[in-house]
């Protein structure tokens, strides 16, 4: 099992800009909700949600140093090549 929670959170914060709504707390909660949705989508291999969350130009660097784009990353989750049994975020701080 691959534990990429820190990487995933960092990536999602870069991929999903939150519009400034005049309330930092509300924007921070939107980021938290999106991170939780991403984590659940990864655990459940929810391809439609992953495709919605990940930007078309999404790229992740695997632990072996290879870069993978959105299509391949989603395909790997769908096929079970990349499988998450659980994802635990810890020591997260969100600044908007």
Res. 12 pLDDT band, cuts 50 70 90: low
In which element (H, E) is residue 76 found?
helix 70-79
Give per-residue pLDDT as tens, 21-41. Answer: 457 889 999 999 999 999 999
Give the separation between CA 19 and CA 72, rounded to whole angstroms.
29
Nearest by Cα to 14 from 57, 50, 48, 72: 57
What's the chain's average pLDDT? 84
pTM over 0.75? The answer is no
Task: Enter the tokens of residue 78.
Answer: 């769908």
Residue 29, classified by CB atoms within 10 Å of its CB into exposed (0-12), middle (13-18) or buried (19+), is middle
């Amino acid at each position: 099992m691959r534990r990429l929670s820190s990487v995933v959170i960092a990536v999602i914060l870069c991929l999903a800009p939150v519009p400034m709504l005049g309330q930092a707390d509300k924007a921070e909660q939107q980021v938290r909700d999106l991170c939780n949705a991403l984590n659940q989508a990864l655990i459940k291999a929810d391809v439609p949600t992953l495709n919605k969350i990940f930007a078309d130009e999404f790229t992740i660097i695997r632990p072996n140093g290879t870069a993978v784009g959105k299509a391949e990353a989603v395909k790997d989750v769908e096929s079970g090549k990349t499988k998450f049994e659980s994802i635990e975020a810890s020591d997260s701080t969100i600044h908007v």
